[in-house]
Structure 1
Amino acid sequence: MKKISAPTTAILDQLSGPVFNPDIFRKAGVFIMRNAIPADAIEQWQASWLEFQATQLKESRDINQANPVALSEQLPPPLATMYRHPVFVDTMRQVLGEHIALYNHRFVIKDRFSTGKVFLHQDSCYHVGNLNKCSLFVPLSNANRDNGGMTFHVGSHQLGFLGDAGEINPTKFDMQWPTVTPELQPGDFVVMHSSLWHESGPNVSGIDRILADTIVQAADDPTGKELLCGQWQTDIFYSPVNYIRYFVNSRVLKIIKYEKERAETLRTGQ
């Protein structure tokens, strides 16, 4: 019979609060900061989002079929740089130390153009560089189970990178991790280790779920985009964009080749 480890179960009631708890985060892989972002910052970001939505997303948006919730359109400056707010840096110092860099910043939304669920996965397998990365999920709307709020498998990051990318089958493991689906409001934000398993259900309420997703890492990682605090701890850098160009042969390149050959076979009937 699969069991939940007692230490993990014991920390479920300690996963959120107005003060970050690095010890709980290390054990759980997730922590929910409550009412931690100043109201003036939230109001500015929400106003910028509403204007952006009305002018750029009213009729349609560029849907990434591989990840429909990921926003592809270019963000206006207030939203494109919101990760620079001191509350995020001050929190991440307790995890990553004094030298912190940006890996990526984007929005993941569930609106009328992308209402479906997101399968259970970990982010580490989609990243380049070192594995010591964390995501900050910042809601500009309420986020809950009804509109596709995120569910976290507490403690699952302790297994590390699982060796492949895609949907995780939790029944194949000898342990079962407890789950939480926190209700988030503007002013809250979630800190998540990039190896933590997470998923989200469909948006059945019709109320948009708007989340900023910022990935940060130690400043010794050669994939850093921007220094957020401290000093660079590396003098070598490379871009994680279109990383398959770094390979002569790989699993991804084989899949691309297979899909092209399959499409050609379907087209020609041969």
Structure 2
Amino acid sequence: MSQETVVYLINLLIGVILAGVMSQYWRLESSGQSLHLWIVAAWTLTAADLLFVARSMLPPDAVPRMLPTITVTCGHALLLLAAQRSAGRTLQTRWIGGVVAVHFLLLLALRSMPALREWRAVSNSIIWGSLSVAAALVLWNSGPRLRELMRLPALVMALQGVFHASRSLLATHAAVDANAGQFAAVQVLGDVEVSLFMVALFVGVLVAYLRQSNADLRTALDNVHQLSSMLPLCAWCKNVRDDDGYWRRIEEYLSEHQVNVTHGMCESCAAQHFGGSPAV
């Protein structure tokens, strides 16, 4: 088994573990469509690792060379969509899909020109790095609360953009000089980076959602504590004095603290106003 295959297998194992953990958390917590897109991206990148493993172990051309590469591009496109969904933005599926289509056509063109084969690494780094930086900017330009929660994932994607910028420069130098040894080193760097990127990114995303769940739980506990304490209630109109000192209807006060209010009529009021028992 070659060293390249071993690296791909390690990346595959890491991807399966991370995507599985995130899927289990999503199933138990019902965190909504925002985390759902992150999970789809994780499984897509894991599928790309599986294709890389198959390509390195199966006979030549059993797995088209460009298939794992374009799958990675789809994974990065899904990461950008996940960032947009987390930030509450409209999903830019049309132009993101256009980027994937352009990369696919570019890979086809380079495949038909063997003399330019080394430039595939350059194009890959430019596309993947651009998508990562775009996702980082989306998270950084979101609201203060989300920016704080998603600081680590945004930083990871920004660093990956820097990595791919450096990798594209190295790959360009290797392609211009026709240096096979340097090109192989660039390829190894890219393979190792995959593991670091997936661990840092998806662990950061999971931690962000755990922090969000913890914050929601604390808010709910604070509300329960506030409701369980004594409320200043007017003895005549039954209005409640809130924390700011304003008297408000008790229905409004309870609704703001996430308590659903319904109305009914007790037996005494029914007898006084209607001369009978309240309707059920």
- Pick the TM interval, shorter chain: under 0.3
The structure whose Rg is larger is 2
- What's the TM-score once normalised by structure 2's chain length? 0.21
Structure number with greater CO (CA < 8 Å, separation at least 6) is: 1
Between structures 1 and 2, the one with greater helix share: 2
- What's the TM-score once normalised by structure 1's chain length? 0.22
